[in-house]
């Protein structure tokens, strides 16, 4: 019987993008979008003899609206995103594989954790035009938002690079995600508080789309707008329309509305402890630059020198939740 190739994987299933990490590096792709036929980049996932075909491009309405769905539905979507994530790992091509998996759960419930672990452990077959892989999975831990803040990490603020030893004193992490804003506080490496609300970047994009539709008399899709608001240049040309004014207005409404509680709590927390801004939303134009300049206790995880924000940049996808897996990690979470 052929021996299976073992792959260690960290998995962060975001609403806007799937982030996955293995020994070879970190990778991300847009989350699954409904049924196949939406693009040429298709993937067939077979579980328990049932095959479904998907393609990935824009964020999924299904994954963005999971909050009102059943636990079983959420588990199935998580499994699909797991398959999409495995599909982009270069070490998984053709053959039989066994994955040691550590995954962050986007829900605050031990019952969810148990169900998700059970679903992710089911045998999976991934097939595309270039690969056919059979996967078995050992789920070593399903942890909630913010897992991984237990070791030394390097961060930058406007004063330069600093090292925060996150086990030395309490620290707060605010993740501005696509579907949710997650607010976690840690002390001695343990999470002592967690809050989440569903006013993420997609909510901002929805406001921009509504304002633009009213201004120009043509319908703008919130998912397309979400892709466009990543840079100033893209905002100025969304299907030929300049949405700069609508974006600026929407950003104010978003901050004062859904984000107000999170921002107020973060400002208060920064008086006594470091606050780490993370997630895709922190680098939206005009989002955090002024805040970081005024409050030196705010940090964004440092990534590279080639960012358009050289003094304070973040690791895409909040990789403190998707850490490199080592033998020590597996022992600690098994």
Average pLDDT, the chain: 69
Query: Are 17 and 85 in contact, with CB atoms under 8 Å apart?
Result: no
Pick 253 or 308 by higher pLDDT.
Answer: 253
pLDDT in tens, 138-158: 887 655 433 333 233 344 344
Q: Flag whether 312 is in a domain.
A: no
Q: Give how far the C-alpha of residue 187 lies from the chain's centroid of Cα atoms, to the nearest Å.
A: 23
CATH of the domain at 30: 3.30.420.40
Q: Flag whether 240 is in a domain.
A: yes
pLDDT for 214 equals 93
Please give the average per-residue pLDDT across 195-206, as a whole number: 79
Torsion over CA: 244, 249, 255, 259 (sign): negative
- Mark whether 162 and 195 lie in a shared domain: yes
- Mark whether 159 and 293 lie in a shared domain: yes
What number of other Cβ atoms are within 10 A of residue 148's Cβ? 22
- Mark whether 62 and 171 lie in a shared domain: no
pLDDT cut 70: percent of the chain above it: 61
Q: Flag whether 187 is in a domain.
A: yes
Cα gap 306→106, rounded to integer Å: 30
pLDDT for 315 equals 32
Strands 275-278 and 171-176: parallel
- Mark whether 84 and 30 lie in a shared domain: yes
Angle, helix 260-269 to helix 244-256, in steps of 10 degrees? 70
- Mark whether 193 and 229 lie in a shared domain: no
pLDDT for 66 equals 44
What is the 8-class DSSP label of residue 240?
A: T
| Measured distance between the N- and C-terminal CA atoms of the chain, rounded to whole angstroms | 27
pLDDT for 161 equals 46
| Half-sphere exposure at residue 203, Cβ-oriented, CA atoms within 13 angstroms | 19
Q: Which two structure tokens, joined as six digits, stand for 247?
A: 């974006």
The H-or-E segment that residue 153 falls in is: strand 152-157
- Mark whether 213 and 189 lie in a shared domain: no
Range of the domain at 220: 201-254
Please give the average per-residue pLDDT across 275-287, as a whole number: 75
pLDDT in tens, 26-50: 777 766 544 434 444 567 777 888 8
- Mark whether 112 and 21 lie in a shared domain: yes
In the predicted model, is pLDDT for residue 212 greater than 80? yes
Q: Flag whether 241 is in a domain.
A: yes
Q: Rg of the Cα trace of the chain?
A: 20
Q: Could you tell me what percentage of the chain is helix, strand and coil, using 3-state DSSP and rounding each to the nearest 5?
A: 30, 30, 35
- Of the ranges 156-160, 192-196, 298-302, the best mean pLDDT one: 192-196
- Mark whether 167 and 195 lie in a shared domain: yes
Count of domains forming the chain: 3
State the residue for tokens 């949405």.
Answer: 243
Pick 273 or 330 by higher pLDDT.
Answer: 273
pLDDT in tens, 226-270: 878 878 888 998 888 999 999 999 888 887 766 666 667 777 777
What number of other Cβ atoms are within 10 A of residue 76's Cβ? 16
pLDDT for 290 equals 59
Question: pLDDT band for position 24 (50/70/90)?
Answer: confident
pLDDT in tens, 10-23: 777 777 777 777 77
Q: Flag whether 318 is in a domain.
A: no
Pick 133 or 309 by higher pLDDT.
Answer: 133
Question: pLDDT band for position 323 (50/70/90)?
Answer: very low
In the predicted model, is pLDDT for residue 197 greater than 90? no
Cα gap 247→236, rounded to integer Å: 10
In the predicted model, is pLDDT for residue 134 greater than 50? yes
Give the 3-state secondary structure of residue 111. Answer: helix
In the predicted model, is pLDDT for residue 318 greater than 90? no
Q: Which two structure tokens, joined as six digits, stand for 275?
A: 């606050």
Angle, helix 71-87 to helix 110-120, in steps of 10 degrees? 50
Query: Are 118 and 105 in contact, with CB atoms under 8 Å apart?
Result: no
Cα gap 40→55, rounded to integer Å: 7
- Mark whether 212 and 78 lie in a shared domain: no
Q: Which two structure tokens, joined as six digits, stand for 188?
A: 């001695």
The H-or-E segment that residue 208 falls in is: helix 201-216
Q: Flag whether 213 is in a domain.
A: yes
For residue 63, give the nearest of 88, 36, 31 by alpha carbon: 31
Q: Is 72 exposed, middle or buried (0-12, 13-18, 19+ CB in 10 A)?
A: exposed
**Which of 59-63, 185-189, 202-206, 238-242 shows the lowest mean pLDDT across its residues?**
59-63
Cα gap 298→263, rounded to integer Å: 12
């Amino acid at each position: 019987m052929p021996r299976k190739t073992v792959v260690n994987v960290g998995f962060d299933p975001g609403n806007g993008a799937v982030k996955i990490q293995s020994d070879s590096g970190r990778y991300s792709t847009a989350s699954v979008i409904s049924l196949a036929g939406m693009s040429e980049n298709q993937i067939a996932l077979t579980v328990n003899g049932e095959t479904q075909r998907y393609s990935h491009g824009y964020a999924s309405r299904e994954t963005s609206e999971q909050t009102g769905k059943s636990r079983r539905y959420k588990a199935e979507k998580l499994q699909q995103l797991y398959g999409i994530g495995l599909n982009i790992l270069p070490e998984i091509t053709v053959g039989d594989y066994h994955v040691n998996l550590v995954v962050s759960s986007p829900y605050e419930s031990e019952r969810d954790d148990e169900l998700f672990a059970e679903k992710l452990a089911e045998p999976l077959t991934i097939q595309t035009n270039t690969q056919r892989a059979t996967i078995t999975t050992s789920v070593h831990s399903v942890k909630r938002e913010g897992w991984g803040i237990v070791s030394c990490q390097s961060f930058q603020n406007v004063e330069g690079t600093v090292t925060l030893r996150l086990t030395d004193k309490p620290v707060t992490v605010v993740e501005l995600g696509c579907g949710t804003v997650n607010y976690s506080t840690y002390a001695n490496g343990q999470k002592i508080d967690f809050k989440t609300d569903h006013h993420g970047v997609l909510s901002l994009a929805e406001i921009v789309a509504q304002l633009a539709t009213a201004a120009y008399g043509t319908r703008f899709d919130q998912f397309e707008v979400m892709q466009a608001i990543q840079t100033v240049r893209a905002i100025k040309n969304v299907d030929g329309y300049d949405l700069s004014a609508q974006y600026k207005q929407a950003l104010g409404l978003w901050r004062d509305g859904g984000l107000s509680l999170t921002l107020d709590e973060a400002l208060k927390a920064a008086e006594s402890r470091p606050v780490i801004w993370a997630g895709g939303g922190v680098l939206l134009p005009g989002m955090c630059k002024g805040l970081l300049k005024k409050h030196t206790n705010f940090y964004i995880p440092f990534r590279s020198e080639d960012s358009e924000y050289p003094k304070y940049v973040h690791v895409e996808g909040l990789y403190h939740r998707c850490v490199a897996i080592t033998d020590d990690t597996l022992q600690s979470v098994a």
